[in-house]
Amino acid sequence: ITITRLISTVGKTSQWMKALTPPPELASVSLDDTIFSKLRNDPEALQGRASRDYGNLVREVPSAVFHPTSSSDIARLIKLSYNGSVPFKIAARGQGHSTRGQAMVRDGVVVDMAGFRERGNGEGIRVVMSVVVDPNNKNGYGYYYADVGGEQLWIDVLNATLEHGLAPMSWTDYLYLTVGGTLSNAGISGQTFRYGPQITTVRQMDVITGKGEFVTCSQQTNSELFHAVLGGLGQFGIITRARIALAPAPKRVKWVRLLYNDFSAFTKDQEQLISITRRKQNIALDYLEGLLLMHQGPINNWRSSFFPLADHARIISLVTKHSVLYCLEVAKYYDGQNENNVDKELKVLLQGLSYIPGFYYEKDVSYVEFLNRVRSGELKLQSQGLWDVPHPWLNLFIPKSQIMEFDSGVFKNIILKRNITTGPVLVYPMNRNKWDNRMSASIPDEDIFYTVGFLHSSGFDNWKAYDAQNKEILQFCNDSGIKVKQYLPHYRTQEDWTNHFGPKWRTFVERKHQFDPKMILSPGQRIFNN
Ligand code: FAD
């Protein structure tokens, strides 16, 4: 059975089917029955989620959508392509929460990992396959690990591990993302400065390479593949299992926001709070982020609603006065019992900071409420039909030594002047020594670097204005020698990718030749086939 026949059986007559002539490379492939029965090419499958993502800026219609029910199905599909005379492209699609088509594949096959998760699979994978206690292998926080499917959502990993009184230490702000999707990037949030990005909390993985080989890898075994895949933008294999380090889960969280009107004071305090000196006292914060409050945007946004209603007027009037305020956001976990202790520790940690007197806000919430803080905003936007709008996002890493220049050139001279940004703008620092340079993720070459996230939502008719602003930001950085790297990168030329990976580019290319020599996987990243 060929994909040509498969496609022709589904209704040649419809307009759209005519438009979907299979590419010659797919036409030459013959399929075994197991694969055949799990491929769909009906309009609903092709025009549905497989051809869209959260960004809503790009559409690529695949030739077919594959619904695996086991890891071996995925291996078989990739092998089919690898062994075919002309290989076809394949992209795993987690939640499709990329913004620039990174999980799409035109004229190829999308592997629907969400369907894999929703239906379960023949091997009986639950959210957490098992919690492993390994007394010989301490992970820095304890001896616990969970084996989770690459297709699983972090929210489900959280709920499942909490049943054992345990949880991963490193998170993303939003938990409805897949394990495989965030590990292909890095997985960052306010915990990263202390616990590292999510990729550094992985102890072992099962990966199906671009040759269709099923490989278990770790720091010790098949370490080249292990390091390649983490932060590897889906280029080297599909993650079907990841072993994630766990620690005893806290019960509650003290969550604090402090307002600044001076960027230099704000970043100085952020850097001090993530510094080793404070951490050595063993009373470190567990989370640190920061965001801009601008006069044109609401002070509470979908990422979290925080400020008490009674204080909105005075915060807004301060934002209006200064055009922009900087909000430092920190959190400290505790067991729910020793509230006095955590209060004392927070006091020590936050003493001497230069926020505007009187603009200190604190909440005491459950651990799950804190980690899942973005969800309520999402549901609200969904109910208003505003979640599925275009998202011309730009996420950057910026060396600490250039953050002041970035502030004056970008925040003050582009963002405030253009006056179109209303969505969240995040700014927070991380420690480079919490990353692992052997992994594929590319970060600035300084001990401390910032992440800045412009998380725009736009209308369908005006997203280009945000894109133009993004381009202006990148152009400014380029012209003034600010060595930014994109996070969740989107580049158009090979030269941009070479610059992005810098000294890692050669290794990245060598690993691609080793693990996906026929350039089958994740073409939507546009690294090897742009
Ligand atoms: P997809 O978008 O489906 O895929 C991303 C890439 O990974 C694609 O190239 C795809 O082919 C590949 N891929 C998918 N699954 C696998 C797999 N199993 N094995 C190998 N490759 C695979 N990121 C952060 O780091 N921190 C945040 O706080 C954060 N917050 C976010 C909030 C929102 C509302 C959104 C929409 C995104 C956020 N992100 C954040 C970005 C997010 O981590 C990335 O978009 C990530 O790629 C999303 O995962 P996904 O499961 O949707 O992956």
Cβ atoms 150, 157 nearer than 8 A: no
The answer to whether residue 523 is domain-embedded is no
The CATH number covering residue 99 comes to 3.30.43.10
Together in a domain, 72 and 13: yes
Alpha carbon distance 420, 465 (integer Å): 8
The answer to whether residue 170 is domain-embedded is yes
Helix ranges restricted to H, 103-240 = 113-119, 154-162, 179-183, 192-195, 223-229
Alpha carbon distance 110, 122 (integer Å): 20
Backbone φ and ψ for 87, nearest 5 degrees, come out as -65, 150
pLDDT tens track for 407-435: 999 999 999 988 888 889 999 999 999 99
Residue 467 falls in the annotated catalytic set: no
Backbone φ and ψ for 32, nearest 5 degrees, come out as -85, 165
pLDDT score for 383: 94
pTM of the shown model: 0.93
Summarize the confidence of residues 81-85 as an average pLDDT.
92
Q: Is the CB of 7 under 6 A from ligand 1?
A: no
Annotated active-site residue in 67, 97, 227, 391 = 97
464 Cβ neighbours under 8 A, 6+ residues apart: none
Query: How confident is the prediction for the chain on average, in pLDDT?
Result: 90
Final residue of a domain: which of 249, 268, 299?
A: 249
Q: Is the CB of 56 under 6 A from ligand 1?
A: no
User: What's the CA-to-centroid distance between 386 and ligand 1, angstroms?
Assistant: 20
pLDDT score for 276: 61
User: What's the CA-to-centroid distance between 13 and ligand 1, angstroms?
Assistant: 37
Together in a domain, 269 and 296: yes
The answer to whether residue 515 is domain-embedded is no
Ligand 1 atom nearest to 93, measured from its CA: 3
ipTM for the whole predicted complex goes beyond 0.85: yes
pLDDT score for 114: 87
pLDDT score for 14: 31
Q: Is the CB of 238 under 6 A from ligand 1?
A: yes
pLDDT tens track for 209-257: 999 999 999 999 999 999 999 999 999 999 999 999 999 999 999 999 9
Q: What is the DSSP string of 506-530?
A: HHHHHHHHHH-TT--B-GGG-SS--
Alpha carbon distance 82, 212 (integer Å): 7
pLDDT score for 16: 27
Alpha carbon distance 216, 82 (integer Å): 20
What's the angle, vertex CA 49, arms to CA 43 and CA 55, rounded to 5? 135
What's the angle, vertex CA 204, arms to CA 201 and CA 207, rounded to 5? 120
Domain extent, residue 267, equals 252-486
Least-confidence region, from 13-22, 30-39, 233-242, 257-266: 13-22
Q: Is the CB of 97 under 6 A from ligand 1?
A: yes
Together in a domain, 379 and 396: yes
Residue 123 falls in the annotated catalytic set: no
